[in-house]
RNA sequence: GGCGACGUAGCCAAGUGGUAAGGCAGAGCUCUGCAAAAGCUCCAUCCGGCAGUUCGAAUCUGCCCGUCGCCUCCA
């Protein structure tokens, strides 16, 4: 389809909203910094990856061929420490947390990356890059490892807009560190006794620093020629030092910088106006949070806010998103049921909104405002935003009674209730649903007799069992409520 | 301390010079024995404060107040 507007995206590198154009034909190569699974993922991670999922869907919608790489930092200091505490090895810790993260991403409808490189699988490439940096005098070897010499790269600080002198003033070399300058960072850490390590000739066995893996893997997978790839993304907290360091590592070895044409950063997610962290006591694992909230509602919640903005997460806001999701489901059911064609134009309005630096909030408002969109466009927009309608959307209400429905009903009504006495005699042969239908019949009988007290008593009893009644002109229906 | 972001109705939030999107919650009406559900309607003379620029500012400038982030591992 034709697009009215070109795609405009905010580029952290230039601090402006720019027209987006791929470097090579219709191909868009994206590298997003993935998880370091030395601890459990939280909702803040989800916000970031959910955004890049929508960006990727939208780029494909516009006809680009997208290659999406999201790395896994599967070796770091924290995992070694955690493994030591738990009497296991770092790779076990990493594997556990990463499996949980992947399961959460599936629940959220985040598509799999095209490439998912693990740092430990790219040790040769990482070492090759370090050797080149040493050879070009950008790195040096000391007692405890190989360090990058920040002073060797004049453009250091450009991406994050940091002043190197000011950084220098606040930094210092810790006891036991051998680097020449406080700003220098480790490319390779020589292994201490008992630490996991990979051989590195002619130097010493050890493990890679955090920043170098992204430089090595993005080059290997997206830009072997060293002429740059299209987009590099991550959370705003990665701009400094992580992305700044990546630039410093990669660009001196490139034929034609910059490393990434467009740098895209997602705003952080706060909880109770604080960054989520264990020390502040507001940490909740993503997997646990997804047990409490509908993953699609969480996606909607994030779509309501500009991706670059700091966002504060509250239980109230997720409740509101749940209501929005219910509305979308209802609209979807109505559209599926109706034979008429519906109005065209929704897709184009959503396209326009997303072209404007991924304004998902406005896109979502179009989705909610449109009275009778065509089913086809409605479905395409939902898919574009990653809120794919599944089979359960078509069910008017939840039809599964709580497991303890019969028990709860017995205690709510009391054993002397006629309906239950009849039920008690053939306890096994009557389903809970049949019992419910019988209660409803009794209530309607009472209503016919204008016995409102009895009618309301039965309705209240069902309500206490999690079943709500709806009296319609066509009869009484029921639904399960939370 | 340095750098940066943000401050729009009870809550979330769009909107970067032309006179306040959308959602949640709430209110009223219709329907109903009542309630729920559903449908309809209403809900910021105003955008943290004070100055200034302008014919005109939530949108630009300055100062102030407040919140948060980065500067150490972090999506």
Residue A314: CB less than 7 A from any atom in strand B: yes
Residue A260 predicted with pLDDT over 70: yes
Q: Report the alpha-carbon distance of residue A434 to residue A399 in Å, rounded.
A: 13
In chain A, which residues from 222 to 241 place their CB closer than 7 Å to nucleic acid strand B? 234-241
Q: Under DSSP, is residue A271 helix (H, G, I), strand (E, B) or coil?
A: strand
Q: Report the alpha-carbon distance of residue A68 to residue A264 in Å, rounded.
A: 14
Long-range contacts of A211-214 (CB under 8 A, 24+ apart): A211/A148, A211/A185, A211/A187, A211/A241, A211/A242, A211/A245, A211/A246, A211/A249, A212/A126, A212/A129, A212/A130, A212/A187, A212/A188, A212/A249, A213/A71, A213/A73, A213/A119, A213/A122, A213/A126, A214/A31, A214/A33, A214/A71, A214/A242, A214/A246
The secondary structure of residue A230, as a DSSP letter, is E
φ/ψ of residue A209, rounded to 5: -75, 170
DSSP assignment string, A82-115: HHHHHTS-HHHHHHHHHHHHHHHHHHTTPPPPSB
Residue A477: CB less than 7 A from any atom in strand B: no
A172 contacts A140 by C-beta, under 8 angstroms: no
Q: Which residue has the tokens 């191909």?
A: A27
Q: Which of A99-108, A110-119, A125-134, A401-410 is least confident?
A: A401-410
**pLDDT grade, residue A478 (50/70/90)?**
confident
A204 contacts A190 by C-beta, under 8 angstroms: yes
| pLDDT for position A359 | 95
| pLDDT for position A13 | 92
The pLDDT of A417-442, averaged and rounded, is 70
**pLDDT grade, residue A328 (50/70/90)?**
very high
**pLDDT grade, residue A419 (50/70/90)?**
low
| pLDDT for position A429 | 64
* Structure confidence by residue, pLDDT tens digits, A11-65: 999 988 999 999 999 999 999 999 999 999 999 999 999 999 999 999 999 999 9
Residue A202: CB less than 7 A from any atom in strand B: no
| pLDDT for position A457 | 86
Q: Which of A97-101, A157-161, A186-190, A409-413 is least confident?
A: A409-413
Protein-covered nucleotides on strand B (Cβ within 7 A): 1-6, 11-15, 21-25, 32-39, 67-75
* Structure confidence by residue, pLDDT tens digits, A274-305: 888 766 777 889 999 999 899 999 999 999 99
The pLDDT of A144-158, averaged and rounded, is 94
Measure A327 CA to B39 C1' (Å).
Answer: 14
Residue A319: CB less than 7 A from any atom in strand B: yes
Joined tokens for residue A473: 């002109």
In chain A, which residues from 130 to 169 place their CB closer than 7 Å to nucleic acid strand B? 161-163, 166-167
Residue whose CA lies closest to nucleotide B23 C1': A324
Q: Among all strands, which nt has the closest C1' to A327 (CA)?
A: B23
Residue A416 predicted with pLDDT over 80: no
Measure A324 CA to B63 C1' (Å).
Answer: 42
**pLDDT grade, residue A316 (50/70/90)?**
confident
Measure A383 CA to B28 C1' (Å).
Answer: 38
In chain A, which residues from 350 to 369 place their CB closer than 7 Å to nucleic acid strand B? 356, 359, 361-362, 364-365, 368-369
Sign for the pseudo-dihedral over CA of A435, A436, A440, A443: positive
Measure A356 CA to B66 C1' (Å).
Answer: 31
Q: Report the alpha-carbon distance of residue A255 to residue A385 in Å, rounded.
A: 37
- In a 10 Å sphere around its CB, with 0-12 CB exposed, 13-18 middle and 19+ buried, how is residue A293 labelled? middle
| pLDDT for position A417 | 64
| pLDDT for position A422 | 56
Residue A426 predicted with pLDDT over 60: no
**pLDDT grade, residue A420 (50/70/90)?**
low
Measure A241 CA to B71 C1' (Å).
Answer: 9
Where are the domains positioned within chain A? Answer: 21-275, 301-394, 405-480
CATH 3.40.50.620 for the A21-275 domain, yes or no: yes
Q: Report the alpha-carbon distance of residue A251 to residue A257 in Å, rounded.
A: 6
ipTM: 0.92
The length of chain A is 482
Question: Of A481, A110, A112, nearest to A322 (Cα)?
Answer: A481
Cβ neighbours around A337 below 10 Å, total: 9
Residue A1 predicted with pLDDT over 70: no
Q: Among all strands, which nt has the closest C1' to A300 (CA)?
A: B23
How many helical (H) and strand (E) elements, i.e. helices and strands, does chain A have? 17, 15
Residue A335 predicted with pLDDT over 60: yes
Q: How far is CA A19 from the centre of its chain?
A: 26
| pLDDT for position A129 | 97
Class of domain A301-394: mainly alpha
Residue whose CA lies closest to nucleotide B3 C1': A162
Measure A78 CA to B73 C1' (Å).
Answer: 8
Measure A379 CA to B6 C1' (Å).
Answer: 35
Q: Report the alpha-carbon distance of residue A301 to residue A289 in Å, rounded.
A: 14
Q: Among all strands, which nt has the closest C1' to A32 (CA)?
A: B75
Q: Report the alpha-carbon distance of residue A259 to residue A253 in Å, rounded.
A: 10
| pLDDT for position A465 | 80
Residue A397 predicted with pLDDT over 70: no
A293 contacts A318 by C-beta, under 8 angstroms: yes
Residue A216 predicted with pLDDT over 90: yes
Residue A170: CB less than 7 A from any atom in strand B: yes
The pLDDT of A230-253, averaged and rounded, is 96
| pLDDT for position A425 | 54
Residue A122 predicted with pLDDT over 80: yes
| pLDDT for position A23 | 97
A257 contacts A23 by C-beta, under 8 angstroms: no
Residue A309: CB less than 7 A from any atom in strand B: yes
Cα distances (angstroms) measured from residue A267 to each of A153, A351, A385: 28, 22, 18
Measure A309 CA to B17 C1' (Å).
Answer: 23
> A167 or A233: which carries more pLDDT confidence?
A233
Residue A423 predicted with pLDDT over 60: no
Long-range contacts of A77-82 (CB under 8 A, 24+ apart): A78/A36, A78/A38, A78/A39, A79/A37, A79/A38, A80/A195, A80/A196, A82/A38, A82/A39
Residue A78: CB less than 7 A from any atom in strand B: yes
**pLDDT grade, residue A89 (50/70/90)?**
very high
Residue A194: CB less than 7 A from any atom in strand B: no
How high does pLDDT run on average in chain A? 89
| pLDDT for position A432 | 78
The pLDDT of A328-343, averaged and rounded, is 82
**pLDDT grade, residue A385 (50/70/90)?**
very high
């Amino acid at each position: 389809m034709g697009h009215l507007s070109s795609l405009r995206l905010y580029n952290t590198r230039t601090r402006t909203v720019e027209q987006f154009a791929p470097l090579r034909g219709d191909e868009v190569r994206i590298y997003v910094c993935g998880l370091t699974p030395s601890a459990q993922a939280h909702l803040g991670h989800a916000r970031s990856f959910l955004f890049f999922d929508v960006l990727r869907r939208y780029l494909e919608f516009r006809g680009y061929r997208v290659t999406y790489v999201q790395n896994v930092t599967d070796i770091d200091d924290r995992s070694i420490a955690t493994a030591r505490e738990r009497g296991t090895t770092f790779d076990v810790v990493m594997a556990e947390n990463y499996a949980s993260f992947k399961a959460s991403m599936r629940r959220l409808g985040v598509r799999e990356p095209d490439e998912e490189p693990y740092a430990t699988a790219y040790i040769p490439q990482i070492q090759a890059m370090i050797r080149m940096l040493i050879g070009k005098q950008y790195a040096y070897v000391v007692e405890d490892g190989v360090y990058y010499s920040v002073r060797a790269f004049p453009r250091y600080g450009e991406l994050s807009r940091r002043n190197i002198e000011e950084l220098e003033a606040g930094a210092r070399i810790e006891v036991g560190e051998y680097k020449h300058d406080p700003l220098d960072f480790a490319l390779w850490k020589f292994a201490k006794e008992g630490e996991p390590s990979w051989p590195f000739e002619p130097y010493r066995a050890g493990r890679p620093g955090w920043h170098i893996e992204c430089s090595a893997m993005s080059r290997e997978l997206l830009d072997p020629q060293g002429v740059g790839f299209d987009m590099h993304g991550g959370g705003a907290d990665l701009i400094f030092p992580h992305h700044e360091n990546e630039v410093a590592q990669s660009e001196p070895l490139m034929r034609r910088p910059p490393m990434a044409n467009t740098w895209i950063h997602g705003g952080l997610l706060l909880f109770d106006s604080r960054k989520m962290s264990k020390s502040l006591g507001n940490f909740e694992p993503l997997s646990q949070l997804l047990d409490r909230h509908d993953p699609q509602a969480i996606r909607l919640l994030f779509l309501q806010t500009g991706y670059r903005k700091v966002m504060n997460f509250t239980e109230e806001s997720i409740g509101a998103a749940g209501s929005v999701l219910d509305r979308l489901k209802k609209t979807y059911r109505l559209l599926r049921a109706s034979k008429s064609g519906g109005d065209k134009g929704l897709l184009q309005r959503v396209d326009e909104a997303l072209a404007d630096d991924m304004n998902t909030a406005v896109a979502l408002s179009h989705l909610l405002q449109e009275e009778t969109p065509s089913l086809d466009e409605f479905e395409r927009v939902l898919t574009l935003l990653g809120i794919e309608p599944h089979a359960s959307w078509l069910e008017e209400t939840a039809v599964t009674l709580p497991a303890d429905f019969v028990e709860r009903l017995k205690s709510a009504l009391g054993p002397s209730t006629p309906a239950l006495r009849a039920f008690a005699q053939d306890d096994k042969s009557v389903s809970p649903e049949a019992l419910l239908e019988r209660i409803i019949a009794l209530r309607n009988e009472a209503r016919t007799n204008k016995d409102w007290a009895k009618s309301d008593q039965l309705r209240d009893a069902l309500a206490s069992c999690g079943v709500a009644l709806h009296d319609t002109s066509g009869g009484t229906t029921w639904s399960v409520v939370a």
